[in-house]
Amino acid sequence: MTEYNDKYVEEANYLKEIIDLLNFKLDVETTELDKQKSDLIAARKDMWENTAHYSTDFNKLSDLNQYLTALNSQTFSYTELEKRVEKYKKMIDSPYFSRIDFTEEGFDDTEKIYIGLFNLMDDETHKIKVYDWRAPISSVYYRSELGPVEYKAPSGTIKGNVSLKRQYKISKGKLEYFFDSNVNIVDEILIEALSKKMTPKMKTIVETIQKQQDLIIRDLDNDLLVVQGVAGSGKSSVALHRIAFLLYQGLNLKLNANNVIVISPNTLFSKYISNVLPELGEDNISEYTFENIFMKLFNNKLSIKTKSENFENIICAKTEEEKTFLRTYDVFKGSSVFLEIINRFIIYFGRNLIPFEDVYFNNEVIENRQLLKTFFLNKKINMAPAKKLKIIENRIMEKVKDKKIVRRSKIEKAVNKLDRHEFETKAFTRVLAAKETIDFLNKLHKFTEFSTYDLYKKLFSSKDVFKKISKGLTLPDNIEKIIDYTNKSIADPCNIPYMDGIAMMYMKIKSEGTDSISGIKQVVVDEAQDYYSMHYYVLKNLFKEARFTIVGDINQAAEKNCDISLYNEIISIFNFRKYNKIYLNKSYRNSYEISRFSERFLDKNIDTEYFKRSEEEPQIVYKKSSENLEKKIIEDVAKYKAQGYNSVAIICKSRKEAANLYFRLKRKIDVNLVDYIGEQKITGTIIIPVYLAKGLEFDSVMVYGTNNKNYNTKYDKNLLYIASTRALHRLSYYYTGKVSRFLK
């Protein structure tokens, strides 16, 4: 114990040294921040008072530009300083969480490497006192045990020896305890981190990153990373920490926050993960859903149902036959077969449906329809049909340009012969010439322009044509019903079915080409199991310069049949030369009892290792009536709150069921309804549909309505797995009638 006390004093002294350094830096930087803020305000005021706000005078505009250049430089400097101050404030509470003692090969001196959220340097000695967790040497802490190690640095591979690995618990600037370890994280500290009560935001995991997770985070070699992670394995968090690592490498990778996007399953999940990067000291990045991308591609002129609405329609369908049809509808629209049909139809459209005409201007033939078609069909010109047609239009307008002068002269002579226009000949000539030009363009646009929405409708307008272009492909047995349903469903451009919207996006990209989302170098896709081939082809064609990190869990596929072959299909679609497929098979979220209980809902052959954090067994609660069941739910919510579990989710199968339960409970307890309409609050006690709960976690989960009617099919079994694996500490199921066959 004396030895520990001596080490404790040594560590406490080092912590004090770091806290003192942070306080000193904060004082200096805060003073400088205030000064820069005053200077910035003064500079803006000076620019306002001493420059023209609007002028056509070039010299005055030049003065304004000089002011703006200086002001932009000041603003950037102020913003960077503000970020440093925020980092120091975060470090004051817990400056670091680990230490390794490292001796580089060929040197005698052993260096103490303290690792925290951010770098901290002593400006006088130029010595790094705390290393950022993303620094190259920090990888040793996450990946290696004591003994010989090596890590990749900008200068090459560094070899050496680790003689000590130490973890710390520091809170509010005070060292609570530390211990030495021969592995990167021992169970005690991980258990403590995972046992904390939930917040309505995703937590950072820098103190508990495991070796396999670190390999994903620091991968710089592969263009595509595909991660299969079981529920609670930290795959979403790892993907976000990977972004933070890549941004830390920004100068080397020529990467900043504007070059990275996350494709989220819904806006609720986007909100849930929104704090992770700021906590890690990085700017937040753009988060898109496929619905957002659709609106962007179609300039807000069309809109599609959300993914959540689409799933709600399926699970609330009146009959099993209707549910089956809606699922097969989505499977077909997302398939590589339908993608090939779209590709063929775009070719068919170019050959048979573009109404090329002879082009006349001023009673003279400008272009021959056959020559136009020959140019369009020239296979050597490899570009989207819409771009080819635009070239044709520009070529015609170029030929017409000189002839417009001759035509205007002819019109003017005709106007002069008319009565009542002798005093306004020029103006009237301009009006007539402009009208002729508009009429000419309208005729031209009949074959040089088209809308993807109309083109998509044409694909289904004739069953004979559809079957003709589908020849040789395997179509669903109910293809005629699918065609009829499509014609009916896509009639309203403001309410297009979700999967038709995804297919329409692909058609637009291939038929029109698009550069609307450019400059993206890294794309992270979450919930990979919920997307079809069509989704991935859209991403591939939309972000052609990007590398991809794609994470998912086939066990959580609720909308379609899914197995491990999904990942091979994704790899095949992107066709990158360098890729890696990684499995995260250890679950950290749930207690051991919840994890083992949730196993009963799994059919997939994926080995899962559970973290040994032991708590209460899940409960199955039966009541004869809905009133008694709801009374029991209210009692249990109060019990969980009394136990300190403030994050409680009552998970329902559908939005409809969730809304009905909410309106019955809201006067009796403080509860929020979370759905895809309106504001989404995930604090306190919430009622939420199961498909929106994906990716989220809660202290306590109460699964409502687990009777055999509600949860009976293989898809329902997956929903039970998703709901059950949201729980960290407490899990219970509530039902009336006959219990679900999966809970017997």
Please write the tens of the pLDDT for every residue from 699-723.
999 999 999 999 999 999 999 999 9
Token pair listed for 708: 């055999």
The β-bridge partners of 649 are 686, 701
For the segment 626-644, the average pLDDT, to the nearest whole number, is: 95
Q: State the pLDDT at residue 184.
A: 45
Please write the tens of the pLDDT for every residue from 277-319.
888 888 888 899 999 999 999 999 999 999 999 999 999 998 9
Q: What are phi and psi of 5, to 5 degrees?
A: -60, -40
Which of 702, 714, 708, 705 has the alpha carbon at shortest distance from 740?
Answer: 708
Mean pLDDT of the chain, nearest integer: 89
If one compares 282 and 14, the residue with the highest pLDDT of the two is 14
* Least confident among 27-41, 305-319, 495-509: 27-41
Three-state secondary-structure class, residue 129: strand
pTM for this prediction: 0.89
CB 316 within 8 A of CB 654: yes
The β-bridge relationship of strands 359-361 and 364-367 is antiparallel
If one compares 416 and 277, the residue with the highest pLDDT of the two is 277
Three-state secondary-structure class, residue 118: coil
Neighbours of 525 (CB within 10 A): 22
CB 82 within 8 A of CB 73: no
User: Which sign does the torsion angle of CA 92, 98, 99, 100 carry?
Assistant: negative
* Least confident among 59-68, 489-498, 591-600: 59-68
Q: State the pLDDT at residue 56.
A: 56
Measured at the alpha carbon of residue 549, what is the angle toward residues 543 and 553, in degrees to the nearest 5?
Answer: 125
Residue 517 exposed, middle or buried by CB count within 10 Å (0-12, 13-18, 19+) = middle
Amino acid at site 391: I
CB 142 within 8 A of CB 210: yes
Three-state secondary-structure class, residue 262: strand
Q: What residue has token string 């450019």? A: 518
Q: State the pLDDT at residue 423.
A: 54
